[in-house]
């Protein structure tokens, strides 16, 4: 294990489980001081305790990122406790499945707030600090649903598409100050959210959804964390405005059936 993040401070939204928890632990193992935000204080505290038990420095707070004050409060906590903000990982997202005509405006607004607006706020409030410091990097969690459609996931697709293009626009604005902004776009990942979607039929879910990925399985959260950590590190020093697909080959396949007609008779 390297110390790529020695002396750096990272804020992770939705850090209490899944990709956020896996990434927070990886940041810590590689030397970062970490601040966790999560809607569940129980989950955030559990991840923080695990990081502390391994010798890491961590702070956490319970908060719903759909509330506009939550993300800047998490950034303030990083500055108060650790005096810097080097990595902002805007990871929070929410899906509320349903046909377009059945989605309520309340549901639409909540998905957009948790997924797209929280990312906007994470960028908005971290950039001035990073500019003053003369360093910093931002990573956003998008999704392959940000550039592909999925039935009954219209609000999630729209929100993740916003995250993808917000990443590009923010990267252009931040580049003159040497601040990098990138996006990871996973396919299906074994997370708490996936378990909820599986509705108690995890084995069937993994077989059906995993089987749709050319690699034959869904991802582990730690695999996504590895890509996030790379983009947040100096190893990616010339990468900004990039959107990285990490989906086991899913989007490489156009999903048309094979058709190999026999040669015409002479």
Catalytic residues: 156
Instruction: Give the chain as a DSSP string.
Output: ---TTTT-EEEEETTTSHHHHHHHHHHHHTT-EEEEEES-HHHHHHHHHHHHHTT--EEEEE--TTSTTHHHHHHHHHHHHHS---EEEE-------B-GGG--HHHHHHHHIIIIIHHHHHHHHHHHHHHHHT--EEEEE--GGGTS--TTBHHHHHHHHHHHHHHHHHHHHHGGGT-EEEEEEESSEESHHHHHHHTT-HHHHHHHHHHHSTTSSPEEHHHHHHHHHHHHSGGGTT--S-EEEESTTGGG---PPP--PPPPP-
Tokens coding 150 = 């999925």
């Amino acid at each position: 294990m390297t110390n790529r993040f020695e002396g750096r401070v990272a804020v992770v939204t939705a850090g209490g489980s899944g990709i956020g928890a896996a990434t927070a632990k990886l940041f810590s193992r590689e030397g970062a001081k970490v601040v966790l935000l999560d809607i569940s204080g129980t989950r955030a505290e559990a991840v923080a305790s695990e990081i502390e038990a391994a010798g890491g420095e961590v702070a956490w707070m319970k908060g719903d990122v759909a509330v506009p004050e939550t993300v800047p409060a998490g950034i303030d906590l990083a500055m108060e406790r650790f005096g810097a903000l080097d990595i902002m990982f805007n990871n929070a997202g929410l899906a509320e499945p349903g046909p377009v005509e059945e989605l309520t405006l309340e549901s639409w607004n909540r998905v957009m707030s948790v997924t797209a607006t929280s990312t906007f706020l994470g960028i908005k409030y971290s950039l001035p600090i990073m500019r003053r410091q003369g360093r910093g990097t931002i990573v956003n969690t998008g999704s392959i649903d940000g550039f592909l459609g999925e039935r009954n996931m219209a609000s999630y697709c729209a929100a993740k598409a916003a995250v993808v293009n917000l990443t590009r626009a923010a990267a252009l604005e931040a580049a003159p100050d040497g601040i990098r902004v990138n996006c990871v776009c996973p396919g299906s990942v074994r997370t708490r959210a996936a378990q909820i979607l599986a509705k108690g039929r995890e084995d069937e879910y993994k077989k059906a959804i995993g089987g749709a990925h050319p690699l034959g399985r869904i991802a582990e959260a730690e695999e996504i964390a590895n890509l996030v950590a790379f983009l947040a590190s100096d190893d990616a020093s010339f990468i900004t405005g990039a959107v990285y697909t990490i989906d086991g080959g899913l989007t490489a396949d156009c999903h048309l059936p094979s058709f190999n007609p026999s040669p015409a008779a002479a």
